[in-house]
Structures are given as C-alpha cells and as structure tokens.
C-alpha cells in the first residue's frame, strides 16, 4: 500500500473535481417527473415567449404620446373604442386619441405601445380620463422578451429546479434528456456495529446509525440507496461483500473502520476494487480526518469516519460534491453555502480546517451562528444543529461577530 | 362580498399563524421511511447513549494522574497489561501505572479515567512511553453523555431531518408517530390558459406553467399534488370544479384570476368553499399584490397571482409557511432565510415590501446577491435566480453592500 499525505480541504475539492466525472447513461423523462434531474443536453427554444405582446396589468392600451402631460389635476382624454378578451386575438387597432381595454395577460392591439393601469385612469361613459403620463413600452412584455426562438434556454449540466420546469413548460417542452438517477451502496464494518433495529444492545455494541443519516441525505439529494449490511473485521468477508455491492451501484460508501485501528482493512478493501484507487487518505479537517476517497473503474468509493457527527459532516462536505459531479451537474456556484455572524471566538490550529456545528438564529435583521459544543460522537449535537461552520485552514481562528460560511444541514 | 384592506407582509404572517392549524391525522412509520415527516408526539430515550464509557480515539486507557509530568523530553512509563477488542466487554481493570489498549469506540476498562492517543505514546515491548500529560475524562464519551434515559430527545412538532433519524436509530427507536403526508390540489383558471403540454399555441393563449413550478415546490416539501385542470372564466363551472377538488385535498391552490380583471370570480369561489373564509385579500408586496388567503372548514385555500414569478415568490413566502403549519411543524426558527450583501442600491416604496430575484455568488469570503432585472412575468428571471431578497416595508430601499435576507429558491 502506498504512503498517502494528509490533504487540505482545498486540495481534496480539487482532487474530487479532477477525479470524478459524470455518468454517461441518459434517459428521456416527462418534465413533470424531472425535478432535480440534470440535463444531458442543452435545451433550445422553438418559439418566442411570450408569443405575442402582452399587458402586465389591467388597463387600457394606448399610444403613450397621447398621455403626455396628463396628471391628477389636468387629465388627458381618450375615446374607449373596444375591449380585448383574455385568450383572444386583438385585431382591432388603437388609433391616436383612442384606448382599448386590456386585462392582465391580454394581447396588446396593433397601434398601441403602452398600457395605462386602471388605477391611473377612469372610464366615464366611454371617455377615458388619464391621470398620469406613461412611457412607450410601459406595462407591456414584448413578444420574445422572455425567451427568443432558437436561444439556449438551459445548458447541459443544469439541475432542474421548479423554476426550470416552469421555463420548459412555457416553451411547450414536455420531455427532456437527463442523466439517470444514481444508486449508492452503503456498507458498514466493525465488530461492534449491529443493525440499527437491534432492540437491546449487548455491552460494547453500537447501532449502525450512520446508515440512517447517510440514507436520509441521499434521499434529500434524490439518490437511491442500497443497504449492504454490516461486515465483521475480516478482510476476506469485507472485500467480498464490498465487491458484490460495488458491482450493483454507481458509488460505494463504507462506514466505520477508517480510523488507525489495528483491524482497519478499509483502505486495502477499497484498493482491491479497482484503479486508479485511493486519491485522498486523510484530510486535515476536524472532525473527519480519517476520510478515504477513491475511484475504481470510474465509480467513486468513499470511506467515512465512524463517528456520527464526523460521518455526516464529511458526507455533506465531500459526498455531496462527489455525487453532484457524478450526476453530471455543472458546478459553477456553491449556493448551498450561506453566511452568518459567529457568536463566539473560535480558536483553530493553523493548517487544519475546523468544522463546527452551529444553530442559526436571526437577530436584528442578521443571521447568527451559535457554536454547539460537544464531542464528534454525540448525535445530539447534530440534532441541535442547523449547519456547519468552516474555519478555514489558513486562519488561526475566528472572532465573535465575524462572518463565516455555513453549510446548512436540512 | 366584504371589503378587504391590503395587508402588510408581517400582518399576513401573523394571520397565517393565527388561522392555520396542523392536521390531526397521524400514522406510525418506520424511521427509514420517515424523512421530513413531523413528529406527532415527543420521543423519550429508553436507554443511555452511549450505553457504556467509550473511547473517542485509538489509544491506551490509563489513570490520567499517571501521565502528569509526561513530555516529549521526559516521558512517563506505564505497563501495558492488555487490550480491549471492539464490541467486547472490557472486564480487566486498569491499575495504577498500568495501561490497556482501546480502539476508537471501544469500551473503557474499569479503573481508567482517560485515554492517551497512540500519537502521544509509544508501546516499546509492553512498556508504554507517554509523551504528553492528559486530563481526567480526556478522549472518553461517558455513558449517557449523549442522551440520558428518560430524557425528551425530540419534541412533538419536530421535522425529521437525517440527523434526527440518526438520533432515533441510536436509541433503538425504529418507528415514530408522525402526521400523515399532505395532499394539495391545484386548479388553474382563465380563458387564455391551456394545458402546459399544448404543442402549438393559438394567438392569445398561455400555457399553464405555474402548475409545474408549484408542483415542483410541493415535491421539494414532500407534499403530493393533484392537478385539477383548467377552468374557463365561468362562475358555476369554476365553483363546482373547485369544490370537487377541495373535498379531496388538505389544501387547495387556485392559480390565476386573482387580479382585478372583470372576469375574476376567484374570491367568490373561495368564499363559497366554507367558513371562516378569506382572511387576506391583497398584500402590500411587489410582485404578488393580488394574493388571496383563506381557510374553509380548517383547510387552507390559496389564490395565487397568475404571473409565474409572482406566483412562485408568493408560494415560497406564504405557501411554504401555511403548509409547514398544516403539517404540524413547530415553527420556532426560520433557518430557510439566509443573508447576503446586495451589489446595487435598490429603491423601494415605503409601506410596501419588495421582493427582488437575485443570483448569489461568493466573493472575498462573503455572499453577494446580484439583483436580476426583469418584469414579474418573465420566467427567465426565475431561472437565473438563486433566491429572493426582501426589502422590508419599513425601509425606503437598501444600499449597496448592505446585508439583506434571502429566501433561497432551490
């Protein structure tokens, strides 16, 4: 086995981006069943949106010029010559000194270049009193102003959120080519680990609780999870079960056993799964140092630390990025990080990134992060937490009131 | 029909909290299928977690006193008298000047009050050289330190996140009593609205794209959605279809038709569904003013504005809160709001809350919100957006560099 140098958090992210590529399998899905899937090809508009000039208000379509000089005290006067109905063509034109009623969303009649809101005029027996001057284009969305025919609406690699589905629907696009859903395998190891359903524990036993947190996070990320059970600290059994599960999934997660313990076979098992193999063995991070990241035959393998809080932090931080890359998502932004002011001074060793669980609260119109004190084995510290604060490895700590990046834990 | 005064955003939230109560139906679910469900009763611990004193590191269980004075240059010396195996009882005690090897997570033997990490000592043929002094309790999690038997672990009204599932699993709790999953009905109205699958639009027609964004947001919130179709602007048909859908769901959403247009029957239809009826008719918010909120026979009814961006903002802001209350969730915090610095000055009318779509980016270790300029009818402004910034109604605007609350749109 090779010798591995402990990596910094930044090095780990760079290595993930370098080593992990998206899957190739795609499928065509109806858009109503495509939430959170990632586009495998760009989507082009086949028509203008909107398809006609529309009013954004209830009002009267006019020539803007005809309202110039209008005010509450000196209204202008226009002749109401008709009405546009919703969903119907506006064929009758608006001439000079004329006005046609248009509801919100209604089509703008020819000849008109603006709509005066009903709040700013009054129809007195067919004579429209205008109390405000309006500019050309006011209260109108022009044909193609939202999306132009032929334009790329969404790039390949875009994750489909509710608003992207709305944009696709507005174009009459009902199906999209996306990368298929991922399946992740989870395997626990350790002589002391027993199934989480175990009612009464023997002395020394620990329930396999990381499975529940990992599976919950995967569900949040719309990824299926296969539970591979628990293997004892026996290399042959461990390697066999890992290989069987690995063959059925897109990514394998091994929980526990990545400490320096005497019975630690995790690294060897991971190396046995294929090449190029382990690319991160240990990260200068607290908690979570004994993390292992690997790629075997294009599939990521993640060796998580056994402590519940460590496992969750590591999986949130690195697991999510690995899986988003594997999904084919183009990662240009990190909108999942947010910022808050810290309530206490926090010391940190230089050269090591510390991740601190915090609860978030609002005070005086700002977000504050309150560190939760507790050992990394304590599940209650996670239950109390709304997020994880990063104390970057270049810093020796953070001061009360400083803004810090927070990874929300939902 | 009664006269309704336009409400402020704050008044609207207060009214929601006053008018909307949780459903009563509960069910018992296995914890592995309970993510995002809300607890209907508190969960008590039936045992201590951990159930025994555990080591948090790989090291040697010792009497802390025996390490006092140890340093790199002046090591202490202890006799290694045994080893604890993972998952097995540590029955052999540690006497004075003795040490027993314990792996991470292993049981602490009697007589020991601290564990010295293997990095800080060296086992030379059974003689342990200690290079650091440690304090009593160091590297040990005491029995019950995480959760004490009989303590309330999770309150009723708690939404189950991955970490709560982990906490339940750690206690051997495999089932929980939760409120059942909600079902929401969605009905569109408007002569111009056609199904979103419509391939070729006639002049004046608009596809029912709000259904896709609303259904996507409901999916994000783990709520089922029944699509009720599109009704024309005809009171009897509208009222009948609304009533039929209303009877099948926990909450009804009506899209479009809540403008001041001549054919606006939405308010009457909503009032016809039952008492106490409409409690918000118009909110001093931009966009989204023509919003209607109602309760009929304990079920919320939401009249959304027709413009896609307005509908989405209103549903994110008020719809989510209504549905979280309906789910039985105890809303003490709002961890869904985050904060960012705004990149531009934004003017706003006092007395009206403005909601501005923004894209979020990181610069110099801080979160910045870049306003996206566009009319509320433009779906592309939503696609570009990562969140919505609130300009509170008490303010006349916000200045570049000011911190603003952001509702993330995922």
Determine the topology of domain B26-49+150-179 in CATH. Molybdopterin biosynthesis moea protein, domain 2 (3.90.105)
Mean pLDDT of A350-372: 81
A-facing residues of B in 139-158 (CB < 8 A) are: 141, 145-147, 153-154
Question: Between vectors from CA B155 to CA A225 and to CA B21, what angle results, nearest 5°?
Answer: 95
pLDDT at res. B133: 95
- How high is the ipTM of this complex? 0.83
pLDDT at res. A394: 61
β-bridge pairing B285-286 and B353-363? parallel
| Chain A residues touching B103 at Cβ < 8 A | 259, 261-263
Mean pLDDT of B182-211: 90
Q: How many CA atoms lie within 13 A of B38 on its CB side?
A: 23
CATH number of A26-49+145-179: 3.90.105.10
CB B182 within 8 A of CB A84: no
- The region of weakest confidence among A95-104, A387-396, B219-228 is A387-396
Instruction: Annotate B193-232 with b (16+ C-beta within 10 A) or e (fewer).
Output: bbebebeebeebbbbbbbbbbbbbbbbbeebebebbebbe
pLDDT band at residue B259 using 50, 70 and 90 as cut-offs: very low
pLDDT at B409 over 90: no
Query: Any idea where the domains of chain A sit in the sequence?
Result: 9-23+182-326, 26-49+145-179, 54-141, 338-408
Name which of A46, A92, A162, A232 to mutate to probe chain B: the one with the most chain B Cβ atoms within 10 A of its Cβ: A162
Other Cβ atoms less than 10 A from the Cβ of A155: the count is: 12
Name which of B42, B166, B175, B193 to mutate to probe chain A: the one with the most chain A Cβ atoms within 10 A of its Cβ: B166
pLDDT at res. B401: 86
Highest mean pLDDT among A155-159, A177-181, B167-171: A177-181
Instruction: Annotate A188-222 with b (16+ C-beta within 10 A) or e (fewer).
Output: bbbbbbbebebeebeebbbbbbbbbbbbbbbbbee
| Chain A residues touching B306 at Cβ < 8 A | 104-105
Distance from CA of A161 to the nearest CA of B (A): 6
pLDDT band at residue B4 using 50, 70 and 90 as cut-offs: low
pLDDT tens digits along A331-355: 865 546 677 888 988 877 777 778 8
Mean pLDDT of A282-287: 83
Sign of the torsion formed by the C-alpha atoms of A30, A163, B34 and B181: negative
- Going across the sheet that includes B114-117, the strands are B114-117, B59-62, B98-102, B76-83, B127-130, B121-124
- Nearest CB among B50, B219, B335 relative to A408 is that of B335
CATH architecture of the domain B338-408 equals Beta Barrel (2.40)
- Rounded to two decimals, what is the model's pTM? 0.84
* Average pLDDT in chain A: 88
CA separation for the pair B301, B304 (Å, rounded): 10
pLDDT at res. A1: 44
β-bridge pairing A54-55 and A140-141? antiparallel
pLDDT band at residue B59 using 50, 70 and 90 as cut-offs: very high
pLDDT band at residue A262 using 50, 70 and 90 as cut-offs: very low
Cα-only R_g, chain A = 30
pLDDT at B58 over 60: yes
B-facing residues of A in 170-199 (CB < 8 A) are: 170, 172, 174, 190-193, 196-199
| Chain A residues touching B378 at Cβ < 8 A | 141, 145-146
Which SS3 state, helix, strand or coil, does residue A186 take?
strand
| Chain A residues touching B155 at Cβ < 8 A | none
Name which of A383, A387, A399 to mutate to probe chain B: the one with the most chain B Cβ atoms within 10 A of its Cβ: A383
Mean pLDDT of B57-72: 94
pLDDT band at residue B140 using 50, 70 and 90 as cut-offs: very high
* Average pLDDT in chain B: 88
Mean pLDDT of B265-289: 89
CA of residue A94 relative to chain centroid, distance: 47
pLDDT at res. B248: 98
> Would the CB atoms of A105 and B190 count as touching at under 8 Å?
yes
Other Cβ atoms less than 10 A from the Cβ of B42: the count is: 13
pLDDT band at residue B258 using 50, 70 and 90 as cut-offs: very low
Which SS3 state, helix, strand or coil, does residue A118 take?
helix
Mean pLDDT of A227-249: 94
- Going across the sheet that includes A59-62, the strands are A114-117, A59-62, A98-102, A76-83, A127-130, A121-124
A-facing residues of B in 361-390 (CB < 8 A) are: 361-362, 365-367, 375-380, 382-383, 385-387
Query: Which chain B residue has the Cα nearest residue A86?
Result: B192
pLDDT at A364 over 80: no
> Would the CB atoms of A163 and B56 count as touching at under 8 Å?
no
Other Cβ atoms less than 10 A from the Cβ of B236: the count is: 10
pLDDT at A139 over 50: yes
pLDDT at res. A372: 84
pLDDT at B43 over 50: yes
Distance from CA of A61 to the nearest CA of B (A): 15
Mean pLDDT of B34-48: 94
- The region of weakest confidence among A233-237, A293-297, B276-280, B284-288 is B284-288
Name which of A201, A216, A289 to mutate to probe chain B: the one with the most chain B Cβ atoms within 10 A of its Cβ: A216
pLDDT tens digits along B333-357: 554 667 788 898 887 777 777 888 8
Q: Which CATH class is domain B54-141?
A: mainly beta
User: In this complex, is the C-beta atom of B204 within 8 Å of any C-beta atom belonging to chain A?
Assistant: yes
> Would the CB atoms of B167 and A379 count as touching at under 8 Å?
yes
pLDDT tens digits along B91-121: 899 999 999 999 888 899 999 999 999 999 9
A-facing residues of B in 269-298 (CB < 8 A) are: none
* Residue with more model confidence, B167 or A363: B167
- The region of weakest confidence among B151-160, B275-284, B398-407 is B398-407
CA separation for the pair A85, B191 (Å, rounded): 9
Give the whole-number percent of chain B exceeding pLDDT 70.
93
Question: Dihedral through CA A103, CA A106, CA A110, CA A114, nearest 10?
Answer: 60
pLDDT tens digits along B227-242: 999 998 888 999 999 9
> Would the CB atoms of B50 and A377 count as touching at under 8 Å?
yes
Determine the topology of domain A9-23+182-326 in CATH. Molybdenum Cofactor Biosythetic Enzyme; Chain A (3.40.980)
Distance from CA of B115 to the nearest CA of A (A): 14
Taking each helix axis as running N to C, give the angle between helix B162-170 and helix A210-220, from 0 to 180 degrees, rounded to the nearest 10. 160
Which SS3 state, helix, strand or coil, does residue A258 take?
coil
Distance from CA of B195 to the nearest CA of A (A): 9
User: In this complex, is the C-beta atom of B219 within 8 Å of any C-beta atom belonging to chain A?
Assistant: yes
* Residue with more model confidence, B163 or A60: A60
pLDDT tens digits along A183-202: 999 999 988 889 999 988 88
| Chain A residues touching B213 at Cβ < 8 A | 162-163, 165-166
- Nearest CB among B203, B263, B380 relative to A52 is that of B203
């Amino acid at each position: 086995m090779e010798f591995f140098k402990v990596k910094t958090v930044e090095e780990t992210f760079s290595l993930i981006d370098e080593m992990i590529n998206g899957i190739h399998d795609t499928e065509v899905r109806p858009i109503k069943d495509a939430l959170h899937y990632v586009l495998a090809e760009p989507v082009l508009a086949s028509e203008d949106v909107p398809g006609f000039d529309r009013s954004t208000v209830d009002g009267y379509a006019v020539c803007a010029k005809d309202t110039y000089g209008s005010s509450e005290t000196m209204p202008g006067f226009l002749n109401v010559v008709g009405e546009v109905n919703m969903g119907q063509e506006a064929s009758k034109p608006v001439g000079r000194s004329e006005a046609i009623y248009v509801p919100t969303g209604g089509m703008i009649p020819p000849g008109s270049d603006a709509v005066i809101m009903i709040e700013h005029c009054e129809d007195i027996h067919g004579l429209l009193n205008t109390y405000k001057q309006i500019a050309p284009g006011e209260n109108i969305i022009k044909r193609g102003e939202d999306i132009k025919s032929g334009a790329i609406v969404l790039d390949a690699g875009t994750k489909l959120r509710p608003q992207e589905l709305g944009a696709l629907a507005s174009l009459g696009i009902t199906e999209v080519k996306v990368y298929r859903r991922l399946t992740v395998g989870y395997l626990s190891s350790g002589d002391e680990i027993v199934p989480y359903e175990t009612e009464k524990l023997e002395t020394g036993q620990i329930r396999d609780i990381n499975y529940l947190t990992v599976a919950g996070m995967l569900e949040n990320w719309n990824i299926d999870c296969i539970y591979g059970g628990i293997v004892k600290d026996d290399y042959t059994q461990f390697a066999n079960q890992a290989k069987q599960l690995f063959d059925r999934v897109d990514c394998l997660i091994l929980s526990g056993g990545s400490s320096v313990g005497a019975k630690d076979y995790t690294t060897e098992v991971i190396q046995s799964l294929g090449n190029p193999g382990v690319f991160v063995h240990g990260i200068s991070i607290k908690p979570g140092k004994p993390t292992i990241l690997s790629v075997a035959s294009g599939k990521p393998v993640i060796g998580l630390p056994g402590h519940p809080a460590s496992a969750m932090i590591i999986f949130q931080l690195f697991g999510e990025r690995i899986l988003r890359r594997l999904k084919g998502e183009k990662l240009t932004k990190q909108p999942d990080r947010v910022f808050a002011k810290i309530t206490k001074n926090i010391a940190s060793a230089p050269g090591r990134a510390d991740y601190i669980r915090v609860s978030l609260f609002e005070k005086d119109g700002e977000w504050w992060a309150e560190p939760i004190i507790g050992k990394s084995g304590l599940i209650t510290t996670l239950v109390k937490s709304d997020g994880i604060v990063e104390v970057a490895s270049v810093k020796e700590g953070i001061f009360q009131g400083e803004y810090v990046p927070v990874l929300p834990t939902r």
